[in-house]
Structures are given as C-alpha cells and as structure tokens.
C-alpha cells in the first residue's frame, strides 16, 4: 500500500496531477539553468541583460513549483496532526 492510498481518491488524483506539473516545471528549470551556466562561463562574459529573461522565467517556475505543492504539504501536515 502506497502513501497516497491512505487519502481519498480526489486528493490522490490531485497529487498525481501535481507530480506531472512538477515534472514539467522541473525539466524546464533544468534547461534554463543550463542556459544560464553556458552564459556565465568565465571565458565568455555575458551582460546581465542577456541573463535576465532566463532568470525571470526560472524564478517564475520556482514560484509555481512551490505553490503547486503547498496544498499537498498542508494536507499531509493536517493528517499527521490528526494521528
């Protein structure tokens, strides 16, 4: 029996959706990180204005990732308090 099996079906489905969204965000964040690393090589200086769009998108995805997991985290905390 998995950890998700203890929750009602609706919450399990939301959790699976959160996993899927997080996987997509995580993949995009890795791509952005690699682009930023490439731009930031010591032997190839880069202006901040060239990095800014990538950083802005990375920060936006990070905020989405955290907000995506907040409901699940709150639900798990509530369940632990009830035990």
pLDDT (tens place) for every residue of the chain, 83 residues total: 455 566 677 777 777 888 888 899 999 999 999 998 888 776 667 788 888 999 999 999 999 988 888 777 777 777 777 66
Instruction: With respect to residue 1, please indicate whether it lies within any of the assigned structural domains.
Output: no
Inside any domain, residue 5: no
pLDDT at 5: 64
pTM score over 0.75: no
- The reply to whether 10 falls in a domain is no
Q: Name the domain count of the chain.
A: 1
Predicted local confidence at residue 70, as pLDDT: 79
pLDDT at 63: 93
Residue 8 lies in a domain: no
Q: What string of DSSP letters covers 10-76?
A: HHHHHHHHHHHHHHHHHHHHHHHHHHHHHHT-TTS---HHHHHHHHHHHHHHHHHHHHHHHHHHHHH
């Amino acid at each position: 029996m998995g950890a998700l099996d203890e929750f009602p079906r609706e919450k399990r489905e939301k959790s699976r959706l959160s996993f899927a969204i997080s996987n997509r965000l995580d993949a995009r964040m890795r791509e952005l990180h690699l682009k930023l690393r490439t731009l930031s090589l010591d032997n190839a200086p880069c202006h901040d204005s060239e990095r800014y769009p990538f950083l802005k998108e990375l920060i936006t995805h990070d905020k989405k990732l955290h907000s995506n997991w907040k409901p699940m985290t709150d639900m798990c905390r509530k369940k632990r308090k009830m035990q």
